[in-house]
């Protein structure tokens, strides 16, 4: 699978990471989770998975996880455009909320929320067989790399 993002290989030994994933669009989300877990396992980080109803709930769950000892969070969700403004409301709330969580806690949140026009776009980006990209892998890699950088900056 040819990704467009950087490939990051990091040593996550000693880091605790929480994957927070929505329940909607489970085929796509499960692919994102698989990509994230592959990266975390390869890095040596310890990780756990928490499922929330949807992308709107990602920020609050990430915040609680980070406030309770996690070094990083990986937020995974799927938002597919419909015929109402709901798409924009949820997309903006998730994006702004996850940014605020990272800034308020001083800990990284890997952003793996897919905003899509249709389901096929998600299947193409979910790291599934035949996918062109693996956004779950990219989100976990970014969270790990940032957690390590922040640890170095603080020492």
Q: Is 125 annotated as a binding residue?
A: yes
To the nearest 10°, the Cα dihedral for 87, 5, 136, 53? -20
Which tokens is 116 given?
């899509």
Q: Is 84 annotated as a binding residue?
A: yes
Quick check: 63 and 105 in contact, CB under 8 A?
A: yes
CA–CA dist 52, 50 (Å, integer): 7
Q: Is 87 annotated as a binding residue?
A: no
State the catalytic residues.
Answer: 86
Q: Is 33 annotated as a binding residue?
A: no
Question: What 8-state DSSP symbol labels residue 7?
Answer: P
Q: Is 111 annotated as a binding residue?
A: yes
User: What residues contact residue 16 under an 8 Å CB cut-off, 6+ apart?
Assistant: 45, 46, 47, 69, 70, 71, 72
Q: Is 57 annotated as a binding residue?
A: yes
Of 13, 154, 8, 19, the closest CA to residue 76 belongs to 19
Q: Is 88 annotated as a binding residue?
A: no
Q: Is 56 annotated as a binding residue?
A: yes
Quick check: 35 and 127 in contact, CB under 8 A?
A: yes
Q: Is 55 annotated as a binding residue?
A: yes
Known binding residues: 24, 55-57, 78-80, 83-84, 111, 125
Known binding residues for 5-amino-6-(D-ribitylamino)uracil: 24, 55-57, 78-80, 111
Known binding residues for (2S)-2-hydroxy-3-oxobutyl phosphate: 83-84, 125
């Amino acid at each position: 699978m040819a990704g467009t993002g950087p490939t990051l290989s990091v040593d996550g030994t000693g880091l605790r990471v929480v994957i927070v994933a929505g329940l909607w669009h489970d085929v796509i989300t499960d692919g994102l989770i698989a990509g994230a877990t592959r990266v975390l396992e390869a890095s040596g980080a310890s990780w756990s998975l928490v499922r929330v109803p949807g992308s709107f709930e990602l920020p609050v769950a990430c915040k609680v996880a980070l406030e309770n000892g996690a070094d990083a969070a990986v937020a995974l969700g799927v938002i597919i455009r419909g015929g109402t403004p709901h798409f924009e409301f949820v997309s903006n709330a998730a994006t702004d909320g996850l940014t605020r969580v990272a800034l308020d806690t001083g800990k990284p949140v890997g952003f793996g929320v897919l905003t899509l026009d249709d389901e096929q776009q998600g299947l193409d980006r979910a790291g599934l067989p035949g996918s062109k990209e693996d956004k779950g892998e990219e989100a976990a890699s970014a969270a790990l790399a940032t957690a390590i950088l922040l640890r170095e900056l603080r020492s």
